[in-house]
Amino acid sequence: MDAAARRRGLAIVLAVVFLDLLGFGIIIPILPYYTRSFPGGTEFVIGLLAASYSATQFVFAPLLGSLSDRVGRRPVLVVSLLGSVVAWTVFGLAEALWLLFLARMLAGAMGGNLSTAQAYVADVTPPERRATALGYIGAAFGLGFIFGPGIGAVLSFDATIAAVDALAPAAVPITRFSLPSFAAAFFSLCGVVVALAFLPESRTPDGGAPRGDRTSAVAQLRAAVATPGLRELLTAFFLVSVAFSGVTVMFIPYVADIYGYTAAQSALLLTYIGLLAVLTQGVLIGRLTARYGPVPLAVAGAMLLAVATGLLPFSRPLGGLLPDLSGLVPVLTPDLLGLLAVLTLLPVGNGVLSVTLTALVSRRASADLQGSAFGVTQGAGSLARTVGPPVMGGLYAGVGYWAPFVVGALLLLPVVALVARLGRDAAAADARPADPGHVR
């Protein structure tokens, strides 16, 4: 691919990722309420439903990433997007909890295609620009969380449902749960169309490989794990994902229980977080990486995320130290200002850390193992999000509302040490005289 084709491919794959994640974001506001509409749809079941997505993503992310190394990125992206269309359609038509689980698990399996999208970005960008380009994927993720929940909320309005129901065939059930699900399927279908029509392949498929080479996915994954430094990065990904799950899963209960916020107010806070995530990963990360490098930024991001996570349950007392601006703007109470101050740090720290860790993984893996490496790291994060929600939910209910956030902050401290050690090891390796008999 020439330079123009690479730029075009990067823009198109980002559009495809955005469309896919837009559907994921649409489902977020309705998931708890949809689950509770079924007999037995308790909060524990909601946690299991959330974990089921991550569990299948954990299994399939390495497989999809490795498969894309062999057959190419484009076919894997297209097939996985088609799977998402089926998953969200079934989700909207479900008449029993087991169908919700089935659809959610299929969506999680197809959601493993993020590793393929990351590998595509690595294919079309040089190493020195990779952190910036990978930050664009994070920005697309953030945009999905800005627009997706808002679209899901609008599609749940009674007026919207009535208008669509009047136009839809009688055999298609239109409810405040099914309509957002069908919209998610529609956006995934748009991603299929865009990928088929415009996305060029970034990697030459190895279609003529012997059958023995076709079964080497496990060997490729083992090679990715055995790459020096990658094991430490996998550990970091796992710990970050467990810690951050304490925020993502317990944030809404926290602001509802402590602040008394409604679902609409909570959605506005999520939009604020998403907007900051987009600015961090789409605008700031490239400039920061060019100036400071990925390792110092990863250390700083981990420290910032640890501070924000640990401070979150104490944001209300923190607000008591801030000036009362409600006389100027009624909504800007000290309580809200304290919460916004902590929430400002949260997406910045997470955005910087996630992008720089991903860039470090790309640097550690060879060109032939980019898909496998991204698949393994995404799988580690998915495993953590499978374990994290029930653990953090148990801490919230059994210990206290503050527990998942404080424990999450403590889990981030080893990440600081792991990344700092990788930086020291890399610096020491660069300082050693080169072995004339060995090419690095």
371-419 residue pLDDT tens: 666 667 766 777 788 888 778 878 887 888 899 899 999 999 999 888 8
Are 224 and 369 in contact, with CB atoms under 8 Å apart? yes
Centre a 10 Å sphere on the Cβ of residue 323 and count the other Cβ atoms it contains: 10
Instruction: Name the token pair of 8.
Output: 């075009």
Mean pLDDT of the chain: 80
Over residues 88-109, the mean pLDDT reads 92
Q: Of 17, 173, 309, 238, whose CA–CA distance to 164 is shortest?
A: 173
Structure tokens at 378: 């995404």
CA distances for 7 relative to 36, 202, 355, angstroms? 45, 11, 20
Mean pLDDT of 27-49: 78
Amino acid, res. 346: L
Predicted confidence band at 303 (pLDDT cuts at 50, 70, 90)? very high
Query: How much of the chain, in percent, has pLDDT values that exceed 90?
Result: 19
Residue 240 near residue 357, CB atoms below 8 Å: yes
d(CA 335, CA 324): 9
Contacts of 401 (CB under 8 A, 6+ apart): 250, 253, 254, 257, 258, 313
Model confidence pLDDT, tens digit, residues 327-381:
776 777 888 888 999 999 998 998 888 888 877 877 776 666 666 666 677 667 7
The pLDDT value given to residue 371? 61
What's the pLDDT at 266? 73
Query: Is 437's pLDDT higher than 60?
Result: no
Does the pTM surpass 0.75? The reply is: no
Confidence of residue 102 (pLDDT cuts 50, 70, 90): very high
pLDDT digits (tens, 9 = 90+) for 5-26: 788 888 888 888 888 888 888 8
Max mean pLDDT among 144-158, 249-263, 294-308 falls in 294-308
- Residue 211 predicted with pLDDT over 80: no
pLDDT confidence of residue 152: 76
- Per-residue pLDDT band for 144 (boundaries 50, 70, 90) equals confident
Q: Which of 99-103, 192-196, 226-230, 282-286 has the lowest mean pLDDT?
A: 226-230
- Rounded mean pLDDT, 178-205: 88
Cα(51)–Cα(210) distance, rounded to whole angstroms? 38
Ordered alpha helix ranges (H), 312-369: 315-319, 334-364
Distance CA 434, CA 254 (A): 54
Question: Could you tell me the two tokens for 48?
Answer: 């299991």
For residue 225, what pLDDT is reported? 62
Residue range 16-42: mean pLDDT, rounded: 81
Q: Using an 8 Å Cβ cutoff, are 203 and 368 in contact?
A: no
* 108: Cα separation from own chain's centroid: 12
- Distance, in Å, from the CA atom of 200 to the CA atom of 30, rounded to the nearest integer, reads 35
Q: Which residue segments constitute the domains of the chain, with CATH numbers given?
A: 1-199 (1.20.1250.20), 220-428 (1.20.1250.20)
- The three-class DSSP label of residue 170 is coil
pLDDT tens digits for range 321-337: 777 777 776 777 888 88
Q: What is the mean pLDDT of residues 63-71?
A: 83
Cα dihedral sign, 86-88-94-100: positive
CB 61 within 8 A of CB 385: no
Taking residues 254-259, what's their average pLDDT?
Answer: 83
**In this prediction, what percent of the chain has a pLDDT beyond 70?**
84
pLDDT tens per residue, range 221-244: 466 566 666 777 888 888 998 888
Q: Which DSSP string do the residues of 76-94 spell out, in sequence order?
A: HHHHHHHHHHHHHHHHHH-
Q: At what angle do helices 230-258 and 334-364 cross, to 10 degrees?
A: 160
The residue behind tokens 């909320």 is: 153
- Bigger pLDDT: 289 vs 109: 109
| d(C-alpha 66, C-alpha 369), whole Å | 8
From 10-14, 287-291, 298-302, 313-317, the region with the lowest mean pLDDT: 287-291
How much is the pLDDT for 194?
A: 92
Please report how many Cα atoms fall inside a 13 Å half-sphere around the Cα of residue 170, on the Cβ side. Answer: 0
